Amino acid sequence: MSAQDEPLDVIHEAIILFSRNAKVRENRMYDDLSFVAYTMLSYVGSSPQPTASDLAERYGLEKSTVSRQLSTLEDDGLLRRVTHPSRPRTKLLELTDTGLACLARVRQHQREGLEERLGRWPDEDVETFGRLLWRFVTELD
């Protein structure tokens, strides 16, 4: 990209490059979990009393799709469904000890990668990048 390119063109090309590179590195980035599995574990790990319906709504997925993914995570020993204390028909999602360890390992690996990539940036640039990226991503919803 040259300095003469329009800022929106530069952003568009950067998003394409980022997406392509993330797809290529997916298995290394998520400890051999799929991106979908990782995002589900991450959501369950950071949400109070999440349900399958919450996941479906958050990511715009069909409940049947979420249920299949959750079954795989259960079979892998990463997640379990437990009965809601006051609504017996509702199942809450929680990470198993194995799921917690897996999520912690993946997050640490990702953090190390970010530190490596951004380690030479001034702290102010990292803060600005984080703030603007968060703003960009959250305004998409």
For the stretch 56-107, pLDDT in tens is 998 888 999 999 999 999 999 999 999 988 888 899 999 999 999 999 998 9
In the chain, % of residues over pLDDT 90: 51
**Top CATH class, 31-138:** mainly alpha
Crossing angle of helices 52-59 and 35-46, in 10° steps, is 120
Reported as a pLDDT band with limits 50, 70 and 90, residue 27 is low
Query: Which one is predicted more confidently, 77 or 27?
Result: 77
Q: What is the pTM of this model?
A: 0.77
pLDDT at 109: 86
For the residues of 82-95, what is the DSSP string, one character each? EE-SS-TT-EEEEE
